[in-house]
A and B are shown apart, each in its own frame.
Chain A
Amino acid sequence: MTSHSPQLFSIVPSSTEPIYRQLVEQVRRLVAGGQLAPGDALPSVREVALQLAVNPMTVSKAYGLLELESVLERRRGVGMLVADRPRKRSGEGDINARLALLRPTLERAAREARELELDPDTVLSLFKNLLKESP
């Protein structure tokens, strides 16, 4: 079991997305991407609140929602863990779930590409190159 530090999270206040939802999205992404594995311990509410300088209730709210969605589970005396779920990384359902997370970003990119009057092939070849680059 890995314990993660509160540096795991980052938030942008003043966006159209409330802070609690930014946290929920980040956990979903990290779980979907495998950076957070089943059984991993999340930092405590207080640690995250202090690291990000946000109200602890906001962090609790995010964790609570993720618990309702069975992404996280509360373990007595341990805190919040990434829920154990049979996950087939190559499974079709899983791919769809991960694609759904990527979709908003791509929709935004598609809109900007249209605004810049770039043709689809040029944009796709750029995207392919970007995918091949290591981070």
Chain B
Amino acid sequence: MTVLPIQMRGVARRFDSKTVLDGLDWEVGPGQVIGLLGRNGAGKSTLMECLLGLREIDGGSIALFGESPDALSDATRARIGYVPQKSDLFDWMTPLQMLDYFKALYPRWNDAKVEALLGRWGIDVAMRNRPIRRLSGGEQQRLSIIRALAHDPDLLVLDEPVSALDPAGRRDFLTELIDGVIERGTTVVFSTHILTDLERVALDVAFLKGGRIVLEGDLDDLLDGAAGQVVNGVHQPKSLEDLFIEVTR
């Protein structure tokens, strides 16, 4: 039996008096490409941070490839890539120093891929030797994506990975997802508010509301109206935007 990349059971997380995750159950299978949707403040980033062991949980259990996130083996850690929504870490390093630092942590590090992406995504030699904090938001985000893809992860967790990118940069990212990531059978979980991008690459979607996954399913089926109203025996199709508003309101 294959081990699930992600398994969350009854996960709870509170901040002071606010309950953000409220007994959340969620499973993601190998090779799934799933979009995580929810309103601002619904807890998508918290969910991802708890999932990866970056935040403690107040209740429930999480397993990443069958292991607890706060006690991951090195081998399992090396199978996971993460692009945070915003990262101020290592911003005093130059891109080259940061990438060298991470390369030392991962047994599987694809130098050719890193070099190709740096070149294709316009991170030139001058930029590579400048402190990361002096790069633009878009350049920092591209670098963060390159770092997450560099070790060819089996599970990729992306928290609003394209929020700082212009349309051309977003298209470059989608192309890389399609050709370099999905093609390898990588499991991908990502959140975004750019629904057109989501619709292009996600095969499944999950909606987070009130601290739980309230709706999950095959994106095409949902758009074909599987979850919606039925008029005269026919499911009413709807756009992803309408579905988002209907489900999360």
Seen from chain A, the residues whose Cβ lies within 8 Å of a Cβ on chain B are: 13-21, 46, 49-50, 52-58, 61
B238 with A55: CB separation less than 8 A: no
Q: Is the CB of A16 within 8 A of B239?
A: yes
Do A13 and B200 form a contact, CB below 8 Å, given A18-B219, A50-B179, A53-B171? yes
Q: Does B224 contact A (CB under 8 A)?
A: yes
Which residues does chain B contribute within 8 Å of A16, judged by CB atoms? 223, 237-239, 242
Instruction: Let me know if A18 and B203 touch, CB within 8 A.
Output: no
Q: Is the CB of A56 within 8 A of B199?
A: no
Residue of A nearest to B183 (CB): A56
Q: Are A54 and B201 in contact (CB under 8 A)?
A: yes
Which DSSP category, helix, strand, loop or mixed, fits chain A's interface?
A: helix
Per the 8 Å Cβ criterion, residues 211-249 of B in contact with A are 219-220, 223-224, 237-242
In the complex, how many residue pairs between chain A and chain B have their CB atoms under 8 Å apart? 62
Pick the contact of B239 from A15, A21, A54 — CB < 8 Å?
A15
Interface size of B as a range:
20 to 34
- A14 near B220: Cβ-Cβ < 8 Å: no
**Bound state CA distance, A23 and B241, in angstroms?**
20
User: Which chain A residue lies CB-closest to B238?
Assistant: A16
Find out whether the CB atom of B178 lies under 8 angstroms from the CB atom of A14: no
Indicate which residue in A17, A21, A54, A61 contacts B200 across the interface (CB closer than 8 Å): A54
Residue among A14, A21, A50, A55 making CB contact with B201, cutoff 8 Å? A55
Q: In the complex, A36→B198 CA distance in Å?
A: 30
Taking a contact as CB atoms under 8 Å apart, the answer to whether B238 and A19 are in contact is no
Partner of B182, one of A17, A55, A61: A55
Q: B175–A14 contact, CB under 8 A?
A: no
Q: How far is the CB of A6 from chain B (nearest CB, A)?
A: 13
Contacting pair B199 A14 (CB below 8 A): yes
Docked CA distance A54–B175 (Å)? 8
Q: Are B178 and A18 in contact (CB under 8 A)?
A: no
Q: Does any Cβ of A come within 8 Å of B17's Cβ?
A: no
Cβ A53 vs Cβ B239 within 8 A: no
